[in-house]
């Protein structure tokens, strides 16, 4: 019989150390596979754009930091509700969890719609403000505009995935996210390239295509996210054992629920804003270095993401485990699971860091055939490989703290590391060392951040303060 790890937590069952480790591993595997598959699909995606030349690659690289910023802000709003759902389920208050879910979906849809309109309004001028040249700014603006139109669908996909995970269902959203990646690749293949003749196994046939270039990449992403969002909603609202809609006395949206959501979301929003603005500023630092550096920076970030995605998978599992453990009143278990999750993340990402350093040329070779872009990307990737263990500490610790509803401390740490360390050092080194200087600054920043997160968890164990 399949073991329900979350049921053990909610029933206050005894869980041995071996079972705790096994719980983290088994819950992390689907999320890790989902994250890795996502990156592999991004590789294919970037490779398609890379075949169009350096300028289209630079156009997407120019705007990517802003899309991360917007995504981070949306994630903050989602977190305000998903953490409450985990705590409510852990405490056995499933009726309350369903009420928070419904109110959260409405709030997310309203927020993302307003944000979408703002993004559409600034889409034309944004690439120029980021330092993009006239050769790439129009394409970058179009890419961002399409992204902005699809933002409500993208945000809905993210929040439904988070709600399913916090209810204890890690597998379903992981499978759907992987499916979405494959769908994205197929749609991008059709939208990016024009109609053309393809020869396969001696047979020639016509492959239809829209020939939309960078706009096609954005359109493929938005459409795939929209499809998966609808399927995610089906599993959340109709199939989830704990959260599916049912006939019951509804709970009105309460000010306490709103205050709690704001208390969690505002620090996360500030944190994501700080990090996102830092990424935007880093792009402005890289932009004057030329389109080759912009493209190498974009491709290297994609290549490195294969290395740190396992950390985010473990962090997703940790958020759900910590949230339900604290909701069930098991503070010691929550703290132990937090440390075990971080140790597992550091172990896994030490291994991926070694692989990143070793196979950097092969990873960049999959994304671009331009020798200048490839050689520069290999250099900066090998710099970053040394930071991966500490990167794991910061990624998983963030998931642990979010599960506890503790979002203010991580915001302070990220502000210090991003602006006092990364941006300051990058501004000094970029004119002297080019893109290499920017990535040296990134490596130092990640190491400092990881140490600060570990110190904070040591000084303030999970569950040591009052539950939100």
- The continuous run of DSSP H or E covering 451 comes out as helix 435-459
Would you state the pLDDT for residue 178? 84
Sorted by sequence, the CB contacts under 8 Å of residue 442 that are 6+ apart come out as 282, 383, 384, 387, 422, 426
Q: Is residue 112 part of a domain?
A: yes
Q: Are 182 and 41 in contact (CB under 8 A)?
A: yes
Residue 465 pLDDT > 70, yes or no? Answer: no
Instruction: Report percent pLDDT > 70 for the chain.
Output: 93
Alpha-carbon gap, residue 353 to 266, rounded angstroms: 33
Q: What are phi and psi of 209, to 5 degrees?
A: -165, 150
Q: Is residue 396 part of a domain?
A: yes
Alpha-carbon gap, residue 161 to 56, rounded angstroms: 31
Residue 278 pLDDT > 70, yes or no? Answer: yes
Q: In this structure, how many other beta carbons lie within 10 angstroms of the beta carbon of residue 460?
A: 14
Alpha-carbon gap, residue 299 to 393, rounded angstroms: 24
Would you state the pLDDT for residue 467? 44
Range of the domain at 354: 5-459
Q: Is residue 138 part of a domain?
A: yes
C-alpha separations of 363 from 47, 143, 369, 418, 438 in Å: 11, 25, 11, 27, 20
Q: In this structure, what DSSP letter does residue 287 have?
A: G
Give the torsion sign (CA, 167, 169, 175, 176). Answer: negative
Residue 2 pLDDT > 60, yes or no? Answer: no
* 3-state SS record for 336-395: HHHHHHHHHHHHHHHHHHHHHHHCHHHHHHHHCCCHHHHHHHHHHHHHHHHHHHHHHHHH
Q: Is residue 465 part of a domain?
A: no
Q: Is residue 468 part of a domain?
A: no
The candidate with the shortest Cα–Cα distance to 370, out of 296, 303, 439, is: 296
- The continuous run of DSSP H or E covering 208 comes out as strand 203-210
C-alpha separations of 20 from 75, 88, 341, 346, 373 in Å: 28, 22, 10, 17, 45
Q: Is residue 19 part of a domain?
A: yes
Lowest mean pLDDT among 126-140, 237-251, 312-326: 237-251
**For the chain, how many structural domains are there in total?**
1
- pLDDT-derived band at 1, boundaries 50, 70, 90: very low
* Higher pLDDT, residue 298 or 36: 298
Collapsing DSSP to helix, strand or coil, 12 comes out as: coil
| Model confidence pLDDT, tens digit, residues 17-26 | 888 888 888 8
Would you state the pLDDT for residue 233? 95
Would you state the pLDDT for residue 251? 60
Residue 468 pLDDT > 50, yes or no? Answer: no
Collapsing DSSP to helix, strand or coil, 136 comes out as: coil
Give Dmax over CA atoms of the chain in angstroms: 68
Lowest mean pLDDT among 62-71, 170-179, 226-235, 285-294: 62-71
Alpha-carbon gap, residue 83 to 320, rounded angstroms: 8
| Model confidence pLDDT, tens digit, residues 319-373 | 889 988 998 889 999 999 999 999 999 999 999 999 999 999 998 988 788 899 9
Q: Is residue 466 part of a domain?
A: no
Would you state the pLDDT for residue 463? 67
CA 282 to chain centre: 18
| Model confidence pLDDT, tens digit, residues 26-36 | 878 877 776 67
Lowest mean pLDDT among 55-59, 175-179, 201-205, 362-366: 201-205
Q: Is residue 367 part of a domain?
A: yes
| Model confidence pLDDT, tens digit, residues 128-148 | 988 888 888 999 999 999 999
Mean pLDDT of 261-269: 81
Alpha-carbon gap, residue 45 to 221, rounded angstroms: 10
């Amino acid at each position: 019989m399949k073991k329900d790890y979350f049921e053990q937590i909610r029933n206050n069952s005894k869980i041995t150390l071996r079972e705790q480790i096994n719980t983290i591993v088994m819950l992390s595997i689907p999320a890790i596979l989902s994250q890795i598959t996502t990156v592999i699909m991004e590789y294919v995606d970037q490779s398609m754009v890379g075949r169009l030349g350096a300028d289209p690659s630079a156009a997407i690289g120019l705007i990517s930091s802003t899309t991360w910023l917007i995504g981070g802000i949306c994630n903050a709003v989602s977190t305000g509700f998903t953490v409450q759902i985990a705590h409510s389920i852990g405490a056995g208050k499933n009726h309350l969890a369903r009420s928070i879910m419904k109110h959260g979906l409405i709030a997310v849809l309203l927020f993302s719609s307003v944000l979408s309109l703002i993004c559409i309004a600034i889409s034309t001028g944004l690439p120029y403000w980021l330092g993009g040249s006239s050769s790439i700014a129009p394409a970058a603006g179009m890419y961002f505009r399409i992204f902005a139109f699809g933002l409500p669908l993208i945000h809905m996909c993210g929040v439904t995935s988070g709600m399913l995970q916090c209810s204890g269902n890690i597998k379903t959203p992981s499978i759907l996210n992987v499916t979405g990646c494959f769908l994205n690749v197929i749609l991008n293949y059709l939208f990016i390239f024009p109609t053309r003749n393809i020869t396969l196994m001696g047979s020639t046939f016509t492959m239809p295509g829209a020939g939309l270039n960078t706009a096609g990449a954005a359109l493929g992403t938005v459409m795939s996210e929209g499809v998966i969002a609808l399927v995610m909603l089906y599993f959340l609202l109709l199939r989830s054992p704990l959260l599916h809609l049912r006939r019951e006395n509804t709970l009105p949206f309460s000010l306490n629920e709103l205050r709690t959501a704001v208390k969690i979301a505002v620090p996360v929003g500030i944190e994501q804003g700080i990090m996102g603005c830092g990424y935007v500023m880093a792009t402005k630092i890289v932009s004057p270095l030329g389109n080759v550096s912009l493209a190498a920076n974009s491709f290297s970030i994609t290549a490195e993401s294969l290395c740190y995605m396992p950390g985010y998978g473990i962090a997703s599992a940790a958020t759900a485990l910590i949230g339900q453990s604290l909701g069930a009143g098991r503070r010691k278990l929550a703290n132990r699971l937090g440390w075990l999750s971080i140790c597992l993340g550091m172990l896994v990402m030490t291994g991926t860091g070694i692989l990143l350093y070793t196979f950097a040329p092969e990873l960049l070779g999959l994304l671009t055939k331009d020798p200048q872009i490839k050689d520069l990307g290999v250099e900066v990737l090998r710099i970053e490989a040394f930071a991966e263990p500490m990167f794991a500490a910061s990624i998983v610790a963030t998931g642990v703290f979010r599960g506890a509803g503790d979002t203010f401390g991580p915001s302070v740490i990220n502000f210090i590391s991003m602006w006092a360390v990364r941006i300051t050092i990058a501004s000094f080194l970029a004119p002297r060392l080019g893109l290499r200087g920017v990535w040296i600054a990134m490596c130092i920043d990640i190491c400092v951040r990881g140490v600060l997160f570990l110190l904070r968890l040591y000084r303030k164990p999970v569950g040591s303060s009052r539950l939100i």
